[in-house]
């Protein structure tokens, strides 16, 4: 009987802790935050319209970052 009580307590604790940590990425006010690991150009593109100058600039920056990391043959 004592072990079943312990199982119930542990199960309830797991369910409560899972409910606390599972958020949709939005705060109570509706603000949707962005992940910390994104680059400045990627963060800027979150808020830009798809075909705005800011979105094109962000895409060009991402491409230049990608090109800078690409290995150069013969070096």
Domain boundaries, the chain: 38-70
Q: Kindly report, residue by residue over 31-46, the tens digit of the pLDDT.
A: 877 667 777 777 777 7
Confidence check: pLDDT of 65 > 80 = yes
What mean pLDDT comes out for the span 11-38? 68
The contacts of residue 45 (CB under 8 Å, 6+ apart) are 54, 55, 58, 59, 62
Binned at pLDDT 50, 70 and 90, residue 6 comes out as: confident
Q: Kindly report, residue by residue over 44-60, the tens digit of the pLDDT.
A: 777 777 788 888 888 88
Buried b (16+ CB within 10 A) or exposed e, 40-50: ebeeebeeeee
């Amino acid at each position: 009987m004592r072990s079943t009580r312990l199982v119930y307590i542990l199960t309830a604790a797991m369910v409560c802790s899972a409910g606390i940590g599972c958020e949709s990425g939005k705060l109570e006010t509706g603000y949707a935050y962005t992940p910390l690991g994104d680059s400045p150009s990627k963060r800027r593109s979150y808020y830009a319209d798809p075909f705005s100058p800011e979105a094109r600039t962000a895409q060009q920056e991402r491409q230049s970052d990608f090109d800078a990391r690409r290995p150069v043959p013969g070096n």
